[in-house]
Amino acid sequence: MSEQDVIRGCILENRECQYEVFRRYAGKMMTVCLRYAPRQMEAEDILQEAFIKVFDNIEKFEHKGSFEGWIRRIVINTALKKFQKIGFQQEQHNLEPYPELPIEPSVYATLHEEELLNLISRLPEGYRVVFNLYAIEGYSHKEIAEMLDIQESTSRSQLVKARKALQEQVLAMQKIAV
């Protein structure tokens, strides 16, 4: 079944087509949810809510970009609605200098995807959201500031802290391994 057929079927509330959409994209979207949620359970909640929105609004998909990209945006927005504003209240605007820790980027490359996801999930809420939006989704600080209703400087500082926290976690893992 082509993507067009599947979308058309979903508009007509055809359950087989809806399941096809779920089967094709749910796995990848689960990764997105796991990046934003602190635990598996919350990630599943987000995925469920996001797919309900996808099926409810599928007739609004305008075929301008990729269907996967459209679903991904819904998943991200759902995740943000669930977890945002957390941890930003106490954030100050001044950017403190954070020295880079001596870890070669190649060290990260040796880590499996599950381990990377695990590293992200252990980040504090605010760091995690900004790191996901900036580093993986590719949003600018200006866009993140608008999405999260925070200042650009807050977004920058959260990102720097997130990277530092990730480095610290990797260092700790290395120490345990040694």
Partner 1 sequence: MNYRHPIDRIFQKSLENYDSGAGDHIWDNINKYRKQRKKRVIGKVLFYSSLAASLALVVVILQSLEEKTIAPPPAGFYLSGSTASNQPATKEISIVQNVPSSTGGQSRRNVVAPSFASMPSSIEPEELPLRKTMATSLYSGDTDIDISNTPPLPPLQSITAIYDDKRRSSMPKSPECSKFEAPGLRWTLDFLAAPQITFKTLKATDPVDSEYAEIRQQTEKNSSSYTAAVRLGLTTAKGWSLRSGVQFTQINEKFGYSTAQEEKITIINKYDNQGNITGTDTLREKTLQRTVSTNQYKRLDIPLLAGFEWRKGKTGFVVNTGPIFNVSFSTEGKMLTPGLEIVSLSNGEKSHSNHTFKKTLDVGWYAGVAVSLPISPKTQLMVEPHLQFHPASVTQPSHHIKQAYSQAGLSIGLRHSL
Q: How many residues sit in the footprint of partner 1 (CB under 8 A)?
A: 47
Q: How far apart (Å, rounded) are the C-alpha atoms in residues 71 and 79?
A: 12
19 binds partner 1 (CB under 8 A): yes
Question: Does residue 102 contact residue 18 with C-beta atoms inside 8 Å?
Answer: no
Going by C-alpha positions, the residue among 132, 112, 110, 108 that lies closest to residue 120 is 132
x/- mask, partner 1, residues 141-170, rule CB under 8 A, reads: -------xx-------------x--xx---
65 belongs to the binding site for partner 1 (CB under 8 A): no
144 conformational bin, left if phi > 0, alpha if psi -120 to 50, beta if neither: alpha
Structure tokens at 151: 């200042």
Which tokens sit at 169?
């976690």
Using rule CB under 8 A, residue 2 touches partner 1 = no
Chain contacts with partner 1 (rule: CB under 8 A): 15, 19, 22, 26-31, 34-35, 38, 44-45, 47-48, 51-52, 55, 80-82, 84-87, 89-90, 105, 108-109, 111, 113, 116-117, 120, 125, 131, 134-136, 138, 148-149, 163, 166-167
